[in-house]
Amino acid sequence: MRWNAVVGGALVGLVAGVAALSLVWTPHDPAGIDVSRRFLPASPAHWLGTDQVGRDVASMLMAGAQSSIAVALLSVGLGASLGTALGLLAAARGGWVEEAVMRLSDLAFAFPALLFAIMLAAVFGPSLTNAVLAIAFIMVPIFARVSRASANAVWAREFVQAAIAAGRSRLGITIDHVLPNIAAVLMVQATIEFAVAILAEAALSYLGLGVQPPTPSWGRMLSEAQTLLYLAPQLAIWPGLCIMVAVLGFNLMGDGLRDATDPRLRGVGA
Amino acid sequence: MGLFLLRRLLTLIATLVAVSIVVFLVMNALPGDPALIVLGIDSTPEAQAALREKMGLNEPLALRYLHWAGAALTGDFGISHSFDVPVGRLIAERLPLTLPLAALATVATVTTAIALGVHAAARHGRLADWGVMALSQLGIAVPAFWLAILLVILFAVRLRWLPPGGFPGWDDPVAALRALVLPTVSLALVQSAILARVTRSSVLEVMRLDYARTARAKGLSRSAILRRHVLPNALIPIVTIIGMQIANLVTGTIVIENVFYLPGLGRLIFQSIANRDIFTVQALVMLFAAVVVVTNFLVDVAYALIDPRLKDRV
């Protein structure tokens, strides 16, 4: 095992574990407002103190992990399924279908997630659904390209040529031979895109285009803390640290998995 | 070279047209009545009908697209409903902030990243290399807006060296530049983390090649080899990533302007969302997407200049 896979896996496990735990238990109600207990310092009762309306910061961070993981799961899941389907289709059919899929994904690269979220927010109003859709949208061309390139390599191999000669359908070959052979590459990509999705969710929620109140989210905690920098700067430290730990974890894990599945890249570290 | 440029130029125009159709369709054809969005659900049907007429919404969709795109080509993006002035003028007023910020951030990103990346590669496997790699792994994981907030806490709240936000205008260039220091640094540090890694591995790769070894064998100094033989050849992947980062820079600028309350295009787009100012949002999204597309075109042209072998393959 490579050290980055181990450290990354541990950080991801920590964040996922905290998110799972927060489903059943948090030290306090993360949305419990009590103005008489605002701006309390860290103590055994409130591990990281309380915020401007008396909510327990540690509980909010735990519940925020839930939002981050949920948005990342949904958006990467959606974008990866759609993108991989398009990429497999392009590789299986070739010709104008492949050309069309690739030109469409070129086009999608012109829209960063934030621009797409801005368009959706302007038309439908800001919401969590729009944030998930916007992040999923940028994942589609990434997975379409990766799966098409890997699938084309598989299609050129002898056992696939043999399956073609044996009269298997293109759909059958794609499911039985191509998909299993590109699964490892897709897993690595998905792990790395998880980190991208968590960063994007945090930025969108910070700007008010993502997770809506009262659901806790790290990005929104930062935007609330930003108005109180002179009064309580500590409130702006914790949510950012959580984002950093989660993103670092998924990035390291992705690097580690890639090193394990593609020995050629070992030690290059880019 | 001429043929290559012509072909890339035609692709560029086709992509811009396609992007404009996507933007127009998302902003207009989705189930949301622009007149209703602008006026709000409490408005009277008469007012909505009047505005629909004024905005030209009773025409067929294709005709509206042609009107919008044709006018946009001449710099006419319609009238902003919330500011009641032409959208083009709103954009022109805010460019003197957004353009210098983006330019400063790009220059800072590229110089920091290449310096760090080459430094790490030259000391491959030693402490400096390890330090740069660890820092860049952290930098990739840090959201730019959080770094910005941390910088404000340190340099504005604690030390009081720099303003926490706002922009005084260019009448006082020193104050203006001071207001742009923290936004530039927060954008550049995060962006250069990725670029430094790419620079390092690209330089390492080229240093392993035969001609780099030959240069060393004939007794050239380490810095001369790096400067004359390695860096020019290591530039191609670096330029690719710079091109890809332009999309991040556009996004980053929008976010950072909101962190520092800078009255630029990124702030304008959020004011316009809050004011339901559809025309302004549409024009700005188109503008930002066009910047991404045009930059990628310029990167392709830059490739051909750096490496003439590529121009036949692109």
Instruction: Judge whether residue A89 has pLDDT over 90.
Output: yes
Instruction: Judge whether residue A268 has pLDDT over 70.
Output: no
pLDDT band at A82 (very low <50, low <70, confident <90, very high): very high
Q: For B22-57, write each residue's pLDDT tens digit.
A: 898 888 866 566 677 677 767 778 877 877 777 777
Report yes or no: B36 at the A interface, CB cutoff 8 Å.
no
CB contact under 8 A, B251 and A110: no
B27, B145, B146 ranked by CB distance to A123: nearest: B27
> CA torsion angle for A53, A58, A60, A61 (degrees, to 10)?
140
CB contact under 8 A, B204 and A121: no
CA distances from A205 to A62, A248, B245, B249 (A): 16, 19, 22, 19
pLDDT of residue B102: 92
Distance to chain A for B15, nearest Cα, Å: 7
Q: For chains A and B, count residue pairs whose Cβ atoms are closer than 8 Å.
A: 135
Q: Taken in order B121, B124, B127, B131, is the CA torsion positive or negative? A: positive
Q: For A96-105, write each residue's pLDDT tens digit.
A: 999 889 888 8
Neighbours of A94 (CB within 10 A): 12
CB contact under 8 A, B289 and A110: yes
Q: Can you tell me the distance from the alpha carbon of B293 to that of B237, in angstroms, rounded to the nearest whole number? A: 18
Instruction: Judge whether residue A249 has pLDDT over 90.
Output: yes
Residue type, A102: M
More confident of the two residues B204 and A45: B204
Locate A22 and state its tokens. Answer: 């927060």
Interface test with B, best of A12, A103, A115 (most B CBs within 10 A): A115
**Omega before A126 within 30 of 0, i.e. cis:** no
pLDDT band at A80 (very low <50, low <70, confident <90, very high): very high
CB contact under 8 A, B32 and A118: no
Please tell me the pTM assigned to this model: 0.88
pLDDT of residue A94: 86
Q: Note the CATH architecture for domain B95-313.
A: Orthogonal Bundle (1.10)
Domain boundaries, chain A: 61-261
Q: Determine phi and psi for B86, rounding to 5 degrees.
A: -60, 140
Decide if domain A61-261 falls under CATH 3.30.420.40. no
Locate B172 and state its tokens. Answer: 């006082």
**Segment among A153-157, A196-200, B206-210 with least mean pLDDT:** B206-210
pLDDT of residue B314: 42
Q: For A1-31, write each residue's pLDDT tens digit.
A: 578 889 999 999 999 998 888 888 888 888 8
Instruction: Judge whether residue A128 has pLDDT over 80.
Output: yes
CB contact under 8 A, A119 and B27: yes
Report yes or no: B33 at the A interface, CB cutoff 8 Å.
no
Q: Can you tell me the distance from the alpha carbon of A247 to that of A65, in angstroms, rounded to the nearest whole number? A: 12
pLDDT of residue B101: 94
Residue by residue, DSSP assigns A207-265 as TTSSSPTTS--HHHHHHHHHTTTTT-GGGGTHHHHHHHHHHHHHHHHHHHHHHHH-GGG
Closest CA to B142 of B243, B255, B240, B264: B255
Query: Which residues, other chains included, contact A17 with Cβ-Cβ below 8 Å and sequence gap of 6+?
Result: none
Q: Can you tell me the distance from the alpha carbon of A39 to that of B143, in angstroms, rounded to the nearest whole number? A: 25
Q: For A149-175, write each residue's pLDDT tens digit.
A: 999 999 988 898 899 899 888 899 998
Q: Please state the three-class secondary structure of A161-189 as a single string.
A: HHHHHCCCCHHHHHHHHHHHHHHHHHHHH
CB contact under 8 A, A115 and B250: yes
Predicted complex ipTM? 0.87
A225, A229, A243 ranked by CB distance to B157: nearest: A229
More confident of the two residues B5 and B196: B196
Residue A49 DSSP code:
-
Q: Using a CB-CB distance cutoff of 8 angstroms, which residues of chain B are in contact with residue A203? A: 143, 145, 251, 255
Rounded mean pLDDT of A180-196? 92
Q: Can you tell me the distance from the alpha carbon of B162 to that of B168, in angstroms, rounded to the nearest whole number? A: 13
Q: Using a CB-CB distance cutoff of 8 angstroms, which residues of chain A are in contact with residue B164? A: 229
Residues of each domain in chain B carrying CATH 1.10.3720.10: 95-313
Query: Which residues, other chains included, contact A20 with Cβ-Cβ below 8 Å and sequence gap of 6+?
Result: none
Instruction: Judge whether residue B281 has pLDDT over 60.
Output: yes
Instruction: Judge whether residue A148 has pLDDT over 90.
Output: yes
* H helix runs in A95-127, sequence order: 95-108, 113-124
First to last CA, chain A: 18
Instruction: Judge whether residue B1 has pLDDT over 70.
Output: no
Closest CA to B265 of B42, B4, B91: B91
Q: Using a CB-CB distance cutoff of 8 angstroms, which residues of chain A are in contact with residue B292? A: 109-112
Instruction: Judge whether residue A269 has pLDDT over 80.
Output: no
Residue A157 DSSP code:
S
Report yes or no: B196 at the A interface, CB cutoff 8 Å.
no
CB contact under 8 A, B27 and A270: no
CB contact under 8 A, B164 and A229: yes
Rounded mean pLDDT of B285-305? 86
Q: For B59-102, write each residue's pLDDT tens digit.
A: 788 888 888 888 888 888 888 877 888 888 899 999 999 999 99
Rounded mean pLDDT of A73-85? 96
More confident of the two residues A270 and A220: A220
pLDDT band at A206 (very low <50, low <70, confident <90, very high): very high
Distance to chain A for B99, nearest Cα, Å: 18
pLDDT of residue A245: 94
Distance to chain B for A162, nearest Cα, Å: 32
Q: What percent of chain A has pLDDT over 70?
A: 96
CB contact under 8 A, B149 and A229: yes
pLDDT band at B311 (very low <50, low <70, confident <90, very high): low
Q: Taken in order B110, A110, B265, A79, is the CA torsion positive or negative? A: negative
Q: Can you tell me the distance from the alpha carbon of A187 to that of A123, in angstroms, rounded to the nearest whole number? A: 34
Rounded mean pLDDT of B192-199? 90
Q: Can you tell me the distance from the alpha carbon of B228 to that of B15, in angstroms, rounded to the nearest whole number? A: 37
Q: For A92-126, write each residue's pLDDT tens digit.
A: 998 899 988 988 888 888 888 888 888 888 888 88
Query: Hey, is B199 helix, strand or coil?
Result: helix
Phi-psi region of B277 (alpha: psi -120 to 50; beta: other; left: phi over 0): beta
Closest CA to B116 of B11, B42, B195, B207: B195
pLDDT of residue A267: 47
Closest residue in A to B297 (Cα–Cα): A110
Find residues 213-232 of chain B whose CB sits inside 8 Å of chain A.
none
Distance to chain B for A69, nearest Cα, Å: 16
Q: Determine phi and psi for A56, rounding to 5 degrees.
A: -75, 115
pLDDT of residue B264: 92
